[in-house]
Amino acid sequence: MTNTFHPTGATEAAHRVRDVLGAGPVVVLTGAGISTDSGIPDYRGPDSPPRRPMTYQEFVGDAAFRRHYWARNHVGWRHVAATAPNDGHRALAELERAGLVSGVITQNVDTLHDAAGSRNVIDLHGRYDRVVCLGCRAVTGRAELAVRLTDLNPGFAEEVADVEVAPDADAVLASTAHFRVADCSDCGGVLKPDIVYFGENVPRPRVEEAYAMVDGAAGLLVVGSSLTVFSGRRFVKRAVGQDHPVVILNRGPTRADDAATLTVGLGCSEVLRALADGHTARRGSP
């Protein structure tokens, strides 16, 4: 039976989370909900508008889809690049330095855990700031590609600057028919963001690395993920199979609530900050 906790505030929630997870170290699985306080919207939050991400099959199978994606990404990636870590990201980095968190498995592509100072991070679904060629597999920086796309499409990003941006650095644009796409500068192949699309599998070595992180931890803390896709939910199943406690911190229900030891329906930033501050206060006590 799910142990759903309805705390009066973040401090009470942090105490309960700490009681369930113990001294750790724990591994943390994060989703888009941890980045909403940084200004990056999520896909499935209670107040999120309906969105339909492009699939891998659409991207690789149709040049028009690729053109549409790169036009939107040419605008959207700048918004993500301009964001900064919030208190939740910073709190997790502090907890890692204190030895209470062994590492972070993130479903996000925004790189904000790195920016906050977390050292042991697995980017499960890739990173928005890299681009890979589907032909020769060369990897380049997204900023480098931006220069080429700007040369091919002068003024395009500035003309559509006020847009809605999605978690994967996509942007909602009405028309992209005249956008020009850049090919790989090495082999002329198709360029794709180094992001795992819907319909695409997470590379197996990356999954095994994440499994090993879960196996070596004393528990699992899920933060800001609805666990709708199996890509993240599998780690809850892994932890439960080893009788490790699982705590889910998410504003809305998730697809793994029934498997969790404890679920807390509060915002990520305030509870994580209370966890970090509570550890600092206890460490400073005589």
Which residues fall in the annotated binding site? 31-51, 107-110, 133, 136, 184, 187, 224-226, 250-252, 268
Q: Are 81 and 115 in contact (CB under 8 A)?
A: no
Alpha-carbon distance values, 45 to 13, 42, 48, 203, 273 (Å) = 20, 6, 5, 27, 21
Closest CA to 246 of 22, 15, 13: 22
Annotated binding-site ranges for NAD(+): 31-51, 107-110, 224-226, 250-252, 268
| Residue numbers belonging to the annotated binding site for Zn(2+) | 133, 136, 184, 187
Q: How far apart are CA 75 and CA 281, in angstroms?
A: 43
Taking the CA atoms of 117, 123, 127 and 130 in sequence, report the sign of the dihedral they define: positive
Left (φ > 0), alpha (ψ -120 to 50) or beta: where does 165 sit? beta
Selected catalytic residue, list 68, 74, 113, 125: 125
What is the distance of C-alpha 25 from the center of its chain? 21
Q: Would you call 125 a catalytic residue per the annotation?
A: yes
> Which amino acids are annotated catalytic?
125
